[in-house]
Each structure stands twice: as C-alpha cells, then as structure tokens.
A and B are shown apart, each in its own frame.
Chain A
Amino acid sequence: MAGGKKRFAVSRRAVLGTGLVTSAAVGAGAVGLGGHRDESHAAEGVIPFHGAHQAGIATPVQDRLHFAAFDVVTEDKARFVQLLREWTEAAEAMTKGASVGRGATNGNPLGPPDDTGEALGLPASRLTLTIGFGASLFTKFGMEDQRPAALVDLPHFPGDKLDPARSGGDLCVQACADDPQVAVHAIRNLARIGFGVVSVRWSQLGFGKTSSTTPDSQTPRNLFGFKDGTSNVPGTDEARLKQHVWAAAEDGAPWMAGGSYLVARRIRMHIETWDRTSLKEQEDIFGRTKGEGASQGGRKKEHDPVVLDAMQPGAHVRLAHPDSNGGTRILRRGYSFTDGTDGLGRLEAGLFFLAYQRDVTKGFVQVQSNLATDLLNEYIQHVGSGVYAVPPGVEKGGFWGDTLFG
C-alpha cells in the first residue's frame, strides 16, 4: 500500500480524472493532430527541422541542453528503424512547437495522453533535436561494413577517468532550446516513445552555452570565468563548415554525406581549487586575459590576432589553437553543467564539451593529444565520453538515418 498519510484520500478531482472526463481545447488554427502548444507565438523561434544538414550543429547555439545517450534493447532491426520513423515524426512536431501525436489533452480519455504536456503554452524556443549513432550500434546490428572509418574509438588520453555509466551509447540525441523545459520535454517524450526499443543509458543537462557559432554575438564564459570558443567555426561560414565540419561522400561513407561527427566529453572542473588560484596564474593557464579575453602579448581586444609565442608553452589556448594543430578546426557547441554537489560538498560542475567535425582523428583526437601538457589539466578531469556519427539532415517525408537504414 501507499506512502504518506493521505494515501487513501480520494479527491473528487482524482476520481473524475480517471476516465470520466475529457476536455479538449478546440483551438483555432491547430496544426497537426496535437496542435501548437502556444497559439499566439506559433511561428516564433522555430528552427526548421528539414534540410541538408541536421539542425543543432551550425544553428546559433541555444541557451539550454538536454543530451541523452541510448542503448538499443531489441535485436529487431526493423523495429528500431520503425522507432526512427516515430521519433522523426515527434521531432518534427516538437521543433515547430507542436505537441506529440494527438497532444496532451486530446485523445481517448481512458488512455494516457500521447504528449506529456509540460511544454503546453511554451513556444518552440528554437528547439533542435540532433541524432547520432555510436560505434556499438553498427556492431549490434551486424553493420560493421557500414561503419564510417571516421567514427573511431577514442584512444585513452592521459588524465582520463571515464565512467562507463556516463560514456558511450548506441545512439544519442542532443536537444537544445532556449527554454530548459522545452529541451527536457523533448528528451522525455522521445524516451517514452522508445521504451522497449531503446533505453536511456545516461543523460546530461546543460546550461549557459560555452561557445558561440555566431561571431558577432558576445562570446560566453565557462565556469572558470573565461570566454570560451573565441575563434569557433562560425555557423554561417559555409566554406569552413564544408572543410572542417560536414562529412562528404568521398570521405568513405557515402551515407554520411552532409553529416558530421560528434565528440561529447563530460569534463569535471575542480572549481574550488581553481577559485584559489591567482588571477595571474589563471590568465597564464589560458593564455588570455580574464576580463576582455584578449591574447597575451599585449593585445587589447578579444578578436585581435593571438600571439601564441607570448603565452606559456602549456597555455590552453596556445595548445588548442589551429596553428598548433596543423590548421584543424572543430565546431564547439558545449554547455556548462552543475549537478548539485558531490558527496564531499564540492560543486559537481564542469563543461559538457560537444564538438562537431568532419574527421574525429584530424579534429578532436589531434587537439586533445596536443593538450596532454595543458596547464589546465590540473583543474579538469574528463569523466565521460562519447563519439557519434551524426547522419545528414532529413528531407521532407524522410526519417532520421534514412541514408543508412532507408
């Protein structure tokens, strides 16, 4: 029997709620079965779902993140492909600010609503949903021959302390939105649709974007207080995106043309010790000033050219800069996270690093290897990791991953 003192009280509302009543908003101009959640702002903040590339990569970075990694729990490939179709349909609806299926208050009152309802009344909030496939998915469905060569297993990097429970996954979905409730709603509904086919392996909430893909907007700060992602790949720079971010047919996996490769790293920051570090040391570690974000070497402004030689040999910016890595670039799209405190009272916080690139070996592996002597390593620890092949965008009538599973 039940917990709590009031466990046997049956409120009128509760009795009525089970099966007696259905009330359906008969809204004017409802779009789709579920309809727009917020009629008065129906067109606002909608990022188109369809296109040559998935949204959520070159898209201007939203404020919030809910990232989820899933494992496939069925051996039935056809069932999994069916889920991809169902997910696509739900994603199309949610990204335009509509409810899933028949909505949160329509449908048969004797059954649970199709949509969980917590996003009712909220606009689309620039929601993007981006799917990726992990290497283990190809193994699970006997599709090793389709696995792109660029989807490598990451080597062990010095200092890694990866928790298997926060790493990997057969697939992932990145939900980004300007409203956290919209992002969480999206993952929750996809997880619900997926029960019996996929199971959430781990997930991460993020706030405070740490990189910008829009150069003209202000560069955000990470939890160390420094501007992060100053010379990111701009989402509007088609030439650089083509060169560094979008996979091409000639890269070896034709089904990935127009897709990208995502590296996700949960990077714990040792906040308390960092905060005891002098300003001078903090700036030496990064190689930039804390206030303006200008390069060391007498620069005044954030976007003035960097003077790598003026920085300490182990300065973070010096080691991570394209000039120190054969010109390679990755598109960073990470978020800060704070999951409360750990058992020792320390802030359980850090950077949920997300980077998109055309080739993981030339991109993240190159840069991360170069960061082995990073002065910042004393204050950070990589505790979770995932690498995913992010298929190209979906055309109208298509579904997520149809170039591979279609």
Chain B
Amino acid sequence: MRSLPIAGVTGLLCVSVLAGCGGGSGSGDTGALTVTSTDTACQVSKTDLPAGKNTFKLVNNGSKVTEVYFYAPDGKIISEKENIGPGTNYEITVSLPAGDQQIVCKPGMVGDGIKQDIKVSGEVGELDPRLAKAVADYRTYIDQQIADTVDKTGQFVAKVKAGDVEGAKELYAPSRFGWESVEPVAESFGDLDPKIDAREADLTDEERENWTGWHRIEKALWVEKSTKGLDGIADQLMTDLKDLQDRVHTVDITPASMANGAKELLDEVATGKITGEEEAFSHTDLVDFKANVDGAFKVYELLKPVVQEKDAALAASLDEAFTDVFDALKKYEKDGSYVSYDTVEEGERKQLTDVVNALGEPLSKLAAVAG
C-alpha cells in the first residue's frame, strides 16, 4: 500500500512500451541524429532508423518556442519534449518500436504541428542471458508469493467466516506477506488493488460505504472485535486474489521494471510502514516491512551477477545496506513474528528510517545499472 499512487504502475507500464530496455538494443550513434524544427518545417537528419534506443538532438531554428513529439505506429505518443526555445537544443533518447511512424514538430506549441514520416526497422536486441534468467526466476517468485498469499488468505478467511476473531487475528498478517513482497506487481492491476488493499484513510466517505479487502476486515477484527457481516467481504477478498493469481502472468517484467519495483518496495516502507499508517488497527506494520524488504532483496539477488560486473561498488553498498536493514529488523522479532508497531518508540523508528534511507538511495540506482 502506497501513498505515492502511480509509481507502482508506471514502473511496470514503462517497460511494456520500452521493449528493448533490457539492454543490447540497437542504438544509433549518440548525437548523430538531429530533428530541426523551424517555423515551417520539421526536418529529421535520417528517416530510416533502427529499432530500439535512438538519441536525437532537437534543434529549434525557428522564431517560436516549439515542441517535438514521437508517435508509435499505432499513433500513441512514445515521447515528447516541450518548451524548446528559439536557438536552443535538447538531447532526448527514445526507444522506437519497428514500423512506420511519425515525428511531429509543433512551432508555437499549438495546432497539429508539422509531421515527418520515419521508417523504423529491425529487431530490438536480445536480452543478456543472465538478465533473461533473472526475469524468468522473478516470474517464478511472483507465482510462489501470490500462491502463498492465496493459500494463507484461504485459512484466514475460514476463521473469519467461522466467527473466530482471535484465530483470524493471528492469520491476518501472514496472509498479507506474499502480497506485500511483490506489491508493485500486484498493484499494477488497477481494478483489483483498491478492492484488495484499500486503507480507510485513503477513501472518500462514499467509497467507505463499499470498502472491501484486508483492511476492512482488519478494522472489524481489531476495532469492532467482531466478524459480523464480514462473510461477503471475506469471500470477495478470496475471489479477487484468485483473479490476481490468474492474471499475474500478463504483467510485463523486465530487468528495469524489477529494479524499479524493488525501489518502490523500499518507498512503501519509507512512507507507509515507518509511519505506522499501513496497519492502523492491527499494528502489524513490521511484518509488511519485512515482506517489502524481502521482495526487494529477491530482485537484487537475481540481478546481482550483472550489477556486480557493471558496478561493483553499487553491489557492495547494497550488500551492506540490506544487511543493516535485516539486522535492524531482527531486534523486533518476537515469537516467529514481530512486535506490535505501536510499541516501537520514536527514537527506534528514527533508527529504522536511517537504515531504510541508507538502502533506498543505492537501490534507486539499480534500474540504471541493471536495466
């Protein structure tokens, strides 16, 4: 559960467009391509281009501020640069899919602009086999984590429906662990996420009327101390999670989206768990915390062979920072789980924040190295 809404989705969507972002893409000579925008023309230095990453220098030789758009063969915008002042230039790297498409200059930033056809051909380069393996292994991991969540939520839901408040409370946090470990992936299903994992504080009054999912049950168990009227909500949670399980294979996974997802997991910890906002009633935030970090660590482990080769210093700092976070969490282990987060004092939360920040910074550099 996040407070920065779109991040989880964008990390994954980006890569479905960016077909070649795994590396080895057929990039042209950096800086060799030019798009020259004048008041009357939109000139591209070369109109036959290889698929994959291409770097363009956008030059405004006109008298008005201009924009340059890159359209895919299906007419969707791939990339754009606005506000290029007269006499100035920008450099932009765009990943072009194969096919006939257009570059459009818009002097004055109004109207349909001036179109320039381009022809893009060739295959986007093959992925490094180690990265291909990382992606395949990560898919397996996602399947396992979702299966785990479906299984444990089944047990949880059974307790809820049996009216066993205490039994249900015990199974609540474990049922969420798998979900939390692959949260950015799970969240990319925009129709399911709000039904499964919405927090009360994030809903409007109207939405609260139809609130469903884990946190709805959490509140009933811990605040109302009752399972009354939860049968339908419990069933719905199972239905939604199974729906997720059926569809999770459709998510586009690339090394870059994995790395971005790992970074987002740490963002989740830094904004939602450290503050205790995620589990407002059960205070089981540290379980989610562990699941988020586990999920990020898994990504790092899978990408590590490539990271070590490309940036050994980054690998070293990630090794150390992950160790520090896991060590910091150990302090709060209790009976195979974690202490209630409302017993963690402000000074201790500050220490947790420090180790999370120390990990979040190098982790934010992972996508640029592995992607």
**Residues on A with beta carbons closer than 8 Å to the beta carbon of B5:** 2-4, 6-9
Question: What CA separation (Å) do A111 and B81 show in the bound complex?
Answer: 19
Q: Are B193 and A1 in contact (CB under 8 A)?
A: yes
**Residues on A with beta carbons closer than 8 Å to the beta carbon of B364:** 111-112
A405 at the interface (CB under 8 A from B): no
Q: Are B260 and A8 in contact (CB under 8 A)?
A: no
Q: Are A195 and B357 in contact (CB under 8 A)?
A: yes
A10-36 contact mask (Cβ, 8 Å, vs B): 1 or 0 = 111011111111111110000000000
Place the interface of chain A in its size category.
35 or more
B155 at the interface (CB under 8 A from A): no
A383 to chain B, nearest CB (A): 18
Looking at the complex, which one of B6, B15, B194, B207 makes contact with A11 (CB distance below 8 Å)? B6
Question: What CA separation (Å) do A196 and B369 show in the bound complex?
Answer: 20
Question: What CA separation (Å) do A11 and B77 show in the bound complex?
Answer: 12
Q: How many positions in chain B have a CB within 8 Å of any CB in the partner chain? A: 63
Looking at the complex, which one of A15, A23, A24, A112 makes contact with B14 (CB distance below 8 Å)? A15
Number of A-B residue pairs at CB separation under 8 A: 143
Looking at the complex, which one of B1, B367, B368 makes contact with A1 (CB distance below 8 Å)? B1
Q: Are A109 and B93 in contact (CB under 8 A)?
A: yes
Q: Are B10 and A3 in contact (CB under 8 A)?
A: no
B80 to chain A, nearest CB (A): 7
Q: Are B371 and A21 in contact (CB under 8 A)?
A: no
**Residues on A with beta carbons closer than 8 Å to the beta carbon of B190:** 8, 10
Q: Are A195 and B9 in contact (CB under 8 A)?
A: no
Given contacts A8-B9, A14-B6, contact A20 B95 (CB under 8 A): yes
* CB-CB contacts below 8 Å: B330-371 with A: 350, 353-354, 357-362, 364-365, 367-369, 371
Question: What CA separation (Å) do A196 and B93 show in the bound complex?
Answer: 32
Closest to B357 in A: A195
Q: Are B354 and A199 in contact (CB under 8 A)?
A: yes
Q: Are A1 and B198 in contact (CB under 8 A)?
A: yes
B218 to chain A, nearest CB (A): 14
**Residues on B with beta carbons closer than 8 Å to the beta carbon of A110:** 21, 256, 259, 367-368, 371
A235 to chain B, nearest CB (A): 37
Q: Are A10 and B13 in contact (CB under 8 A)?
A: yes
A243 at the interface (CB under 8 A from B): no
A236 at the interface (CB under 8 A from B): no
Q: Could you give 5 example pairs across A and B, Cβ below 8 Å?
A: A1-B196, A2-B2, A195-B354, A196-B324, A199-B350
Known: A2-B187, A8-B190, A16-B80. 11 other contacts (CB 8 A): A1-B2, A1-B197, A1-B198, A3-B199, A8-B5, A11-B6, A20-B78, A23-B90, A23-B91, A26-B90, A196-B317
Residues of chain B touching chain A, judged by Cβ–Cβ distance below 8 Å, are: 1-6, 8-11, 13-15, 17-18, 21, 57, 77-81, 88-95, 187, 190, 193-194, 196-199, 201-202, 204, 207, 256, 259-260, 317, 321, 324, 350, 353-354, 357-362, 364-365, 367-369, 371
Question: 5 smallest A-B Cβ distances: which pairs?
Answer: A196-B358, A111-B368, A7-B5, A2-B5, A8-B190
